[in-house]
Structure 1
Amino acid sequence: MTFENLKVNIKDRIATVYINRPKKLNALNRATIEELHQAFKSLREDTEAAVIILTGSGEKAFVAGADISEFSDYNVEQGKDLAAKGQEQVFDYIADFPKPVIAAVNGFALGGGLELAMSAHFRIASDNARLGLPETSLGVIPGYGGTQRLPQLVGKGRAMEMIMTAGMIDAQTAKDYGLVNHVTTIEELIPFAEKLAFKILNNSRQAISAAIEAVNDNYKDGVNGFETEVRNFGKSFGTEDFKEGTQAFLNKQKPNFK
């Protein structure tokens, strides 16, 4: 896959997606959002890609925010359309992605950048990371899921404070809040993400996809996550992975999932 604003590498069943606009601190513009959609759409069908690591090029920024110059003159309807399309094409698309997505946050993850990281299934951060939702300082609110996902991850009070103050938190504070799972050095960020990815690769891809759906359904209005869990649990019994996993366990062997 060749893109103008992204780099995508696939090795050992791990796809690493780099937002590649380092001169703009990897800020999200409309072209980058479209390329992210196309990249993930392709990775969904690519049998060589089982786990995705999402990160930014360079050491300064994961994504420093949205490209404000593109929407500074938008009206009300254009603003609504910007948020709706972005959420559908990228942020919700990644959140519901059937393959594990790990955000490796290097440097600034602000505004749309933090929202992008929060759409991943979990996050790790380098010790130079700075995270925040500064939209209220621009006279708008987070529009790519930030008002919804941040409270889910850190709690309502902390989310309200972060959004209202428009301030940044460091990596360790983000870990203390539960916003990121691990903090590493910048040099170890991608190797650590790959280490986690290899652990995931030991397990059933089919079961992981079913688990992602069940966990996500707990956070969707009008959807009973328990019912999804029961349904997907039952479906698991009809898979080859279930036969392989249970027989390997009973025979004290390592499973070889296909």
Structure 2
Amino acid sequence: MSIRTAVVTGASSGIGEATARELAKQGYHVVVGARRIDRLEQLAAEIGGTALPLDVTGDESVRAFTEAIGEVHVLVNNAGGAKGLAPVAEADLDDWRWMWETNVLGTLRLTKALLPKLIASGDGLIVTITSVAAFVHYDNGSGYTSAKHAQAVLHRTLRGELLGQPVRLTEIAPGAVETEFSLVRFDGDAERAAKVYEGIDPLLATDIAEIVGFVASRPPHVNLDTIVVKPRDQAEAGRFARRS
């Protein structure tokens, strides 16, 4: 039996890195993509995978990345992120463009490019990591929540468009996960990022990776459509039980 191939975007840290490790443990040959190629190469060496540079916001980068890959059985659309917490009245258009390019159009570029290979595999799986922000909105978060809503709708629309094709689609929507997410959102302000998780036990990247691994290990006739996962200390976006 030939080795199955999984592609993970945004794999240089956090959920993407943990997912690559989890799928490698399951026996997949994992192709990891991100901009920080030094981190990718170290990860690929550790898991026996392949590291390829990838900027999901660039058409040429995505083309080169996807053309370098042969068979594909699993695509994990993980690349994404947030920038800022500005109200609509003070919205930074560059931050919005980055969020929409990365979360929405990045997912579109990779999915569109790899879809023929996923179908040709005879048992393809697309996992898109969205967020609880794909279901709600909150003050000062319109840039990120609107991008995550759009990314989720893109993914959910595919469920119907691919009906009858040998491709499963799973959306995983995490709540608070302690990764570099908040560090990026706050432009490297570590103190402000740490306050997001202060007084709670957040999810870890490995928690999400294990769920991706579970989804990937289901038989071809089983489609887990949407999985919402939050820490016990979180009821909804912005609502936490914090301990002093």
TM-score calculated relative to the size of structure 2: 0.32
Find the structure with the greater CA-based Rg.
1
Identify, as 1 or 2, the structure richer in helix.
1
